[in-house]
Amino acid sequence: MTSRTAVAALGLLGLAVLLGLFFLGSRPAREGAVRARSEAPEPERTPHADLAATAADERRATPGTEAGAAAVPAAPEIPTAAPAIEPASEPVAADLRRKDTLDLRVVDARGVGVAEAEVRLRGMRSSASPGSWYPYRGEEPSGKTDRDGRLRLQYWTFVDQDGRTTDVDLFVSHPEYAPLRDDAFVVGPGEHEVVLLRGSTLVVSAWIGTAEQRVAPIAVQLDRDSLLASDAWRVNADGSLETTQILPGPHFLRIEHHSEEHGPCFSAIEPFELAEGDWKALDVELFPGERLTGELDASVPRPVRNAHVQLCIRGGSENQGPTLYGDYEAEVDAQGRFTFEDLPRGSAQLFALASGWSAVETLQTFGEANIQTPSEDLSVDERAELEDFQRRAQRCSVPAQSPLVVLMEPTATVEAHVVTPSGAPLEGAVINVSPNICYDGVGCSIVPWREWQATTDASGRALIADVPPDDHVWVSAYRTGYQMRRADRVELISSAAMSGQVNLVEIVLEPVE
């Protein structure tokens, strides 16, 4: 089993952007509580956290990415500009070496300072693109609070050459409290107060066949909003696992067990809910891992070349609330067949890519996506553009009643033409495109298995093939000594990627002054 990584990075053009949730009003409430003493209002929180208590790596997009957000690739850094002080109403030259100070006080629900709370800043948001998320440049600022719960951290004043840091992605943990994450924590002058809630206790055990046939050891996966570290669990004498750091509210879990006697076994995805300081025990039945077979549809010529399929098994709400998921990959043979072994049960979606062919993605309506239409007066083109953000991979379930047939369509080719401001072709520019896979309630990440980049020739042109069809694919370009125009860095350039067609996009690179 491999965990998906959201792909995002800060770079040359400020293009390492994770687009914000499509409608801000659909964002769930933040974990814990945050009170800022400065005058800036608190932003709404967008979840983007590790999915499993046992996962060692994070899904940093990738991001991406957050549910409903698109992931874009990284680009290298550019030389920093000299610092400048100008009136607030005028643009300020970005000094990418400059830092500001964030004063924090971590307290409990009674307002008493919490000592030895670990605080980390994991990302930033920019004034140039408020809905986007950027990974932190360089080493993440971190530290522990003093005996009064206070801590001072420094952060980059500018996210990139185009925007100041307006918010940071704040993560706070302490062994006696539920972890807290706010990825839109407003920065600014004054002391900011962060409230940690007492965690709730959860004891989990598992059985196979009959409730008397307990099995151990077991591993627990929790929804991504739980934020629980793998070392937050302790093993009891009877083999059950226990933690006192569950965040109050609704959650999902899945338990798995591996042994020579039983092989890989999994529970269904179980919902549960805890109040602050609550205690709950869950004794869960496990089932043998499932086998899933399928094939690419007959439209793909045999032999099939360079083909892969990815399966995402998910539990929880599709658009709001906690979500638990796992990703699995399989290779496709020359006859277009694939097999997944030892899978947990659950609702699933899949995506496939082969040379010249890509899985057909479905288009959700606003109603299916549980999203309120912002205006009844939208034109047909405007509505089509908005609904494009709801493209999702084909749905299935595990176990499946019969072998799956994956619907496929021809891929697209993106042809980029890079020129200077005078219109001269620019050789040696590196082009990146960012085709995305989107799963319900999970978010989007860049399609794996390809590099998705090419270098322009003497005519300034480059071709990127096998791009999964989409109405909008983000495109970027860079070359040493050149940069994209500011408007293109902030708004990003997109290209259509129409099935079976060569899709043209022109990019202007200007010299770095």
Q: How much of the chain, in percent, has pLDDT values that exceed 70?
A: 76
pLDDT tens for 7-63 read: 333 333 343 333 333 333 333 333 333 333 233 333 332 222 222 222 223 322 333
Q: What is the dihedral of CA 281, 286, 289, 292, to 10 degrees?
A: -80
Better-predicted residue by pLDDT, 17 or 327: 327
- In this structure, is residue 240 part of a structural domain? yes
3-state secondary structure of 56: coil
Better-predicted residue by pLDDT, 337 or 12: 337
Q: How many CB atoms lie within 10 A of CB 191?
A: 13
pLDDT value of residue 491: 85
- In this structure, is residue 505 part of a structural domain? yes
For β-strands 200-207 and 408-410, DSSP reports them as unpaired
Whether 313 and 253 map to the same domain: the answer is: no
- In this structure, is residue 229 part of a structural domain? yes
Q: Is the pLDDT of residue 67 over 50?
A: no
pLDDT tens for 69-121 read: 556 554 443 333 333 333 333 456 899 999 999 999 999 999 999 999 999 99
Whether 44 and 63 map to the same domain: the answer is: yes
Whether 349 and 247 map to the same domain: the answer is: no
pLDDT value of residue 81: 33
The residue written with tokens 């007959």 in the block is: 298
387 phi, psi to nearest 5 deg: -70, -20
3-state secondary structure of 13: coil
The DSSP-derived string for 94-126 is --TT-EEEEEEEEE-TTS-B-TT-EEEEEEEEE
Establish how many alpha carbons lie within 13 A of residue 105's alpha carbon, considering only the half-sphere containing its beta carbon: 16
Q: How much of the chain, in percent, has pLDDT values that exceed 90?
A: 69
Point out the domain boundary residue: 288, 319, 335: 288
Ramachandran area for residue 92 (φ above 0: left; ψ -120 to 50: alpha; else beta): beta
| Distance (Å) of CA 134 to CA 74, 100, 156, 207 | 10, 17, 12, 43
Q: Is the pLDDT of residue 338 over 70?
A: yes
- Measure the CA–CA gap between 500 and 513, rounded to whole angstroms: 40
Q: Of 274-283, 402-411, 426-435, 438-447, where does mean pLDDT reach its minimum?
A: 438-447
Q: Is the pLDDT of residue 507 over 90?
A: yes
Whether 323 and 377 map to the same domain: the answer is: yes
For residue 303, give both structure tokens: 């032999």
- Measure the CA–CA gap between 194 and 170, rounded to whole angstroms: 10
Q: Of 134-148, 187-201, 390-404, where does mean pLDDT reach its minimum?
A: 390-404
pLDDT tens for 205-261 read: 999 999 999 999 999 999 988 999 989 999 999 999 999 999 999 999 999 999 999
23 phi, psi to nearest 5 deg: -125, 120
**Total domains present in the chain:** 4
- Measure the CA–CA gap between 479 and 431, rounded to whole angstroms: 9
Q: Which of 394, 410, 401 is nearest to 311 (CA)?
A: 394
For residue 397, give both structure tokens: 């379930």
Q: List, in sequence order, every beta strand (DSSP E) within 20-115.
A: 33-36, 99-107
Point out the domain boundary residue: 240, 268, 288: 288
pLDDT value of residue 23: 33
Q: How many CB atoms lie within 10 A of CB 459?
A: 11
Establish how many alpha carbons lie within 13 A of residue 252's alpha carbon, considering only the half-sphere containing its beta carbon: 20
Whether 254 and 302 map to the same domain: the answer is: no
Q: What is the CATH number of the domain that holds 300?
A: 2.60.40
- In this structure, is residue 16 part of a structural domain? no
- In this structure, is residue 15 part of a structural domain? no
pLDDT tens for 454-488 read: 999 999 999 999 999 998 899 999 999 999 999 99
Whether 274 and 317 map to the same domain: the answer is: no
Q: What is the CATH number of the domain that holds 62?
A: 2.60.40.1120
CB 18 within 8 A of CB 130: no
Establish how many alpha carbons lie within 13 A of residue 436's alpha carbon, considering only the half-sphere containing its beta carbon: 36
The DSSP-derived string for 271-315 is EEEE-TT-EEEEEEE-EEPEEEEEEE-TTSPSSP-S-EEEEEEEE
- In this structure, is residue 312 part of a structural domain? yes
Whether 87 and 204 map to the same domain: the answer is: no
pLDDT value of residue 9: 36
- Measure the CA–CA gap between 15 and 487, rounded to whole angstroms: 11
Confidence band, pLDDT 50/70/90 cuts, at residue 492: confident
Q: List, in sequence order, every beta strand (DSSP E) within 118-240.
A: 118-126, 129-135, 142-144, 150-156, 158-160, 163-173, 180-186, 191-195, 200-207, 219-222, 234-235
Whether 345 and 443 map to the same domain: the answer is: no
Whether 119 and 71 map to the same domain: the answer is: yes
Whether 237 and 385 map to the same domain: the answer is: no
Largest CA distance in the chain: 78
For residue 75, give both structure tokens: 């680009």
- Measure the CA–CA gap between 59 and 30, rounded to whole angstroms: 18
- In this structure, is residue 143 part of a structural domain? yes
For residue 344, give both structure tokens: 């947990």
pLDDT value of residue 315: 84
The DSSP-derived string for 435-480 is -EEEETTTEEEE-SSS--EEE--TTSEEEEEEEPPEEEEEEEEEBT
Average pLDDT, the chain: 82
CB 436 within 8 A of CB 447: yes
Q: Is the pLDDT of residue 388 over 50?
A: no
Whether 177 and 220 map to the same domain: the answer is: no
The amino acid at 155:
Y
Q: What is the dihedral of CA 353, 359, 364, 368, to 10 degrees?
A: -100
Per mean pLDDT, which of 16-25, 303-312, 390-399 is the most reliable? 303-312
What does the DSSP 8-state code read for residue 157? Answer: S
For residue 501, give both structure tokens: 């067609």
CB 205 within 8 A of CB 214: yes
Residues 6+ apart with CB under 8 A from 336: 295, 296, 300, 302, 304, 307, 354
- In this structure, is residue 9 part of a structural domain? no
Q: The dihedral of CA 149, 152, 156, 157: what is its sign? A: positive
Point out the domain boundary residue: 172, 195, 218: 195
Whether 153 and 117 map to the same domain: the answer is: yes
3-state class percentages of the chain: helix first, strand second, coil last, to nearest 5: 5, 45, 50
Confidence band, pLDDT 50/70/90 cuts, at residue 389: low
pLDDT value of residue 82: 31
pLDDT value of residue 386: 52
List the domain range (segments joined by +) for residue 101: 24-195
Ramachandran area for residue 306 (φ above 0: left; ψ -120 to 50: alpha; else beta): left
pLDDT tens for 199-216 read: 999 999 999 999 999 999
Q: Is the pLDDT of residue 283 over 60?
A: yes
Whole-model pTM: value is 0.78
